[in-house]
Structure 1
């Protein structure tokens, strides 16, 4: 050890330009995958065709996605820092309510920043096989939510309580996404997320004489 101050550049953390470039390439691959799959169906499209349509090599494709199914799913950016801070610091509402607000923000951000987000709705209606990949995505989101719940509640990151709350939230989110997948009315996913959380809240807080 030399005692020299360690800088960001010394440990290879990518700069904003590199991150933006990676997001741009990822979005280009997804757009090409959606174009081809919506036109011909997932089974009739190959990874090589997607890579060629995106003007990239097969090797570059696999640097970004493990499969053509994964490539069809638009990138969902993390929740905005302000929304995460509000979730962690605002104790004026129950944790489930705070989670509903956090998820609404993330879905709303995704629709705003991912141009192919709504096109994915059209694909999913005709390609139910993509649900397996979505289950993997839900599992990753659930793990991140459990960590945030632990931070909010001051619990261990591996606590049973945090894992249970995160799992319940993902189950509610799945209901909202399934409604969106089969919906033909043009309802926004973020609104369906809010309605699903509200339905659970109302069911829990309503007494037997309230129905």
Structure 2
């Protein structure tokens, strides 16, 4: 019974999410971004203003179909147990965090189209990227337990500045993977990041002549 109720609640949440997102897109296409208000989006979607904020932190997120990123525990555990070098491992973790800001990978083409039509939306995507980088940086500094840090000691720098630099490099790899093939990144961001990491590894460690 609990599983059935949980499924009903999830279906209702997904339906409300789509209603708000679709309403936001239609209103912005019709009236422009500045003239579209959260109250108008909520009214068009048939939800309260309070309910709107249960699904989207800003009207820009409602238009893009995005939300604040978070650190998935499964990917964090995979980061800790991975045999990959620390840079591609961190880039994979960052890509996983970035993917939490979208609705299960849906609406990729529409997001690109909306950003092209309304470039001011790009600022919101940058906010999510910066938030994702901060989440990963904080995890590296604050969430590693002593035995985990010991396991990673050979690769993970112990200096906070170096850890921050590591996350910035991982962000560069992730952005490169996205710009090289955005649609592939949307389909399988982890694989795209690994291929991009190989390009950077060749640049950072050129073969001896």
Is the pair's TM-score, using the shorter chain for normalization, greater than 0.5? yes
Asked whether 1:206 is paired with 2:197, we answer no
**For the structure 1 residues 187 and 40, does the alpha-carbon distance in structure 2 shift closer, same or farther, using more than 3 Å as the test?**
farther
2:168 aligns with 167
**For the structure 1 residues 194 and 38, does the alpha-carbon distance in structure 2 shift closer, same or farther, using more than 3 Å as the test?**
farther
Q: Are the equivalent residues in 2 in contact too, given 1:88–1:148 (CA < 8 A)? A: no
Q: TM-score, normalised by structure 1?
A: 0.66
2:3 aligns with none
Give the Cα–Cα distance (whole angstroms) in 2 for the partners of residues 130 and 50 of structure 1.
Answer: 16
2:58 aligns with 67
Provide structure 1 residue ranges, at least 5 long, that are not aligned to the other structure: 1-15
Shift of 1:127: 2.0
Listed as ranges, the matches of 1:48-87 within 5 Å are: 48-62=39-53, 64-73=55-64, 74-75=66-67, 78=70, 81-87=73-79
Listed as ranges, the matches of 1:77-156 within 5 Å are: 78=70, 81-90=73-82, 92-105=83-96, 113-150=104-141, 151=144, 153=149
Q: TM-score, normalised by structure 2?
A: 0.66
Shift of 1:118: 3.7
1:8 aligns with none
**For the structure 1 residues 105 and 58, does the alpha-carbon distance in structure 2 shift closer, same or farther, using more than 3 Å as the test?**
closer
**For the structure 1 residues 83 and 65, does the alpha-carbon distance in structure 2 shift closer, same or farther, using more than 3 Å as the test?**
closer
Shift of 1:95: 0.9
Give the Cα–Cα distance (whole angstroms) in 1 for the partners of residues 120 and 34 of structure 2.
Answer: 10
Cα root mean square deviation, aligned = 3.9
Q: Which protein, 1 or 2, shows the higher relative CO under an 8 Å CA cutoff with sep ≥ 6?
A: 2
Shift of 1:78: 4.7
Q: Secondary structure of 1:72's match?
A: helix
Shift of 1:129: 0.9
Provide structure 2 residue ranges, at least 5 long, that are not aligned to the other structure: 1-5, 151-155
Give the Cα–Cα distance (whole angstroms) in 2 for the partners of residues 77 and 51 of structure 1.
Answer: 23
